[in-house]
């Protein structure tokens, strides 16, 4: 099951499209367990970034793999809708595409992908392009 929670008012969240994108990644990558997608503003994601990653700034997306202590919830992806709105405007792309990118990126992290080296980042970008091809 994929749960979507909107805790912000900076951008409209296209729930149906984002859930479809998430389902495609989860199904194809074999992600097991429930997944939470949480949309917040820059202030909230900055607080989360500071608390869990020690970085004192907003970011686009943060993924949290969870364990059995959270029942069946296997992972949570926290997304700044405010950052997505700003980046979409700068790139002249629809906000739903930017949000979908963040959803896909976050789930890929939960599936074991990372972008800590140029080679790994390139592999991750290829997977993102694959999943976003329909947009």
* Whether the predicted pLDDT of 78 surpasses 60: yes
What is the distance between the alpha carbons of residues 56 and 52, in angstroms, rounded to a whole number? 10
DSSP summary character for residue 70 = G
pTM for this entry = 0.93
Q: Is the pLDDT score of 135 beyond 60?
A: no
| Contact (Cβ atoms closer than 8 angstroms) between residue 78 and residue 65 | no
- The CA–CA distances, whole Å, from 35 to 1, 9, 88, 133 equal 6, 22, 25, 22
Domain layout of the chain by residue ranges? 2-132
Question: pLDDT tens digit string along 84-100?
Answer: 999 999 999 999 999 99
Q: What is the CATH number of domain 2-132?
A: 3.40.390.30
Order across the sheet with 61-65: list the strands: 2-6, 34-40, 73-80, 61-65
How much of the chain, in percent, has pLDDT values that exceed 90? 88
């Amino acid at each position: 099951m994929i749960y979507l929670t909107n805790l912000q008012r900076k951008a409209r969240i296209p729930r149906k499209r984002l859930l479809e994108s998430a389902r495609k990644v989860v199904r194809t990558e074999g992600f097991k367990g429930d997944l939470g997608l949480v949309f917040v503003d820059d202030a909230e994601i900055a607080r989360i970034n500071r608390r869990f990653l020690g970085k004192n700034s907003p970011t686009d997306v943060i993924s949290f793999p969870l364990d059995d202590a959270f029942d069946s919830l296997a992972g949570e992806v926290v997304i700044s809708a405010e950052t997505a709105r700003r980046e979409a405007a700068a790139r002249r792309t629809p906000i739903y595409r930017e949000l979908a990118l963040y959803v896909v990126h976050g789930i890929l992290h939960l599936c074991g992908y990372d972008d800590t080296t140029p080679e790994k980042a390139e592999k991750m970008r290829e997977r993102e392009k694959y999943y976003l091809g329909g947009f």
